[in-house]
Structure 1
């Protein structure tokens, strides 16, 4: 049911707003007061069995220049589990009907992000079009940090302290490609940090203007340089919210190819493997055991932006991994677990990677643990030059070779018409 919000909805609206805008943007009391006293706003809610699952906010703008009101839809939110059911369209249509009935007006306006193409498609179907007017905004929620204050010390620990990162649920991101990919893939940007006395590029100014954050920080130049991991200080750093360690974040295809990295001990290797997953189409990466931190700035930077394109989830115990493997075997006929080893087992070319597959990658020093070898359906090795002195590859190199062989086999099988999907 779609209806006008009431004061009794304040608590649930606060929960929805936390999901939409991030925590601490407002309070239940503020929402209750606004619902009672703000005559310039209409709030529409979607109510499913007394549970609110979405809302729309309409601002009733009125200028002395015009006789009529100019309603502007500024906020549209539907809980993820209730999307693709037409609720956003239903709430907007309800809002239009309510405003038309109660206020003199001749058009509606709607505010949305330039990069939110999915939402724009919905709004176009409802008759909203680009009217060639440029919407400009000036952010006022910017704090200056010119000393090594408590705020600055938080930035330092986000960069250097693993436990503090997880306490706050936030991590540090640096680099144009990393920040671009974080934004494009819908990661929540908590804050941007920049030199408050430096002229910013068009790219940085655009990001500050277009990306929704909780608060941005203008730092003194030397303080920003101390946080930057580059000799030439980046003009923009970002604090980004972590995502949940939930395997459902990995969108599996009909013939999935995923990887598991057990106890990674090197930041660069973990970053390179994530980058290889992205480059070769591995659908997701699982991390097990105690190893380097997935959200360490060195890991993020070494992925060259791929960190934000490949879902990576951590699983702390073996039982969870084995339960997942059993569930995947039940879901996908022929699903196989391929362990990796430097010893003489089946070579890569002898393994059938056209099946649904999980590749297990071992620790850089100790290799794959015995418990994972025992749960593997087959152990695979990369044949080395018998006349060479190298007995194995670096783990990131080995993983990339294995990913490529899997993708190569699948592409060849697609060309032969043996499996669906993929590139020929």
Structure 2
């Protein structure tokens, strides 16, 4: 049992409370209010007086564990580039729990990461949601498969075009994605019809032939989140057409040029995940990369999270990157939302993480100062109810 006393609490639910206490038991938040410590003789007590206390941070899109730090190619397991369509692969099967980046993230206040395949394929497999502390993957997993990764733009057409294979153009990218979705939808409909016939008692109902590929992809027609990698405006609008055509529950990830066409995103109530925004504009797709994006998305009422895309921006720079969005006009609290509750919402894990509320996972950070100030650090990190960092 753990009690955090006297916290200046930003819970991300009804936002800010001064001098509040948090009671934690069995990995969950049990009570928030004014707690009488004398009732809990065996509890560990942390006095957070004068400290800012927030939920653990959530990165909604990265590749930690799949592209391992230090070891180079030997630790690069994030792209199954043997085919442009590989929905059957699962990011969790490539995660290396002892990638030092997990510890770096934890020490920086990041307690949950949504990590998975890169963008070398049109459909690259599933992302997982993990906590950043644990001895094995079983200790870390929050959700084994949280989203299906898809990609438009330069990456897949370069990978396969260089082998003289399809796709080699943007229209080839879109055609490959559509063809796969049509096949998965046909598989899905046959499976549902078979299940309907069995339920009605039809004895000669013919079971469709099993396909691991289409079985995996067909889950998007039951609401599985789709993460579509798209940087520039034409790829973003292609993603929007495909989302509408197949009625997908999707986010547009990176959405680098999206701040130039916010009305298009707003009209469709489209959720996005922006970033990474640190670094140079290494290719034409990144020409519109700007820290103005957060302010524009917020002003247009667009739901968004902020990603690092680790290892592109190291996870330990999560708050530094977000602070630059604040510098460029994004309200402070909205930047924090983009790293907590909104990051959790756009990845479908807000029932567990992203805010400090009774019943949710006890993932909490006590900060030495403003999280977005370069001198501040995550002084104490609680994950699943245990103190795992004490700086």
TM-score range, shorter chain: under 0.3
User: Greater CA radius of gyration, 1 or 2?
Assistant: 1
TM-score scaled by structure 2? Answer: 0.22
The two structures have a TM-score, normalised by structure 1, of: 0.21
Flag the structure with higher strand content. 2
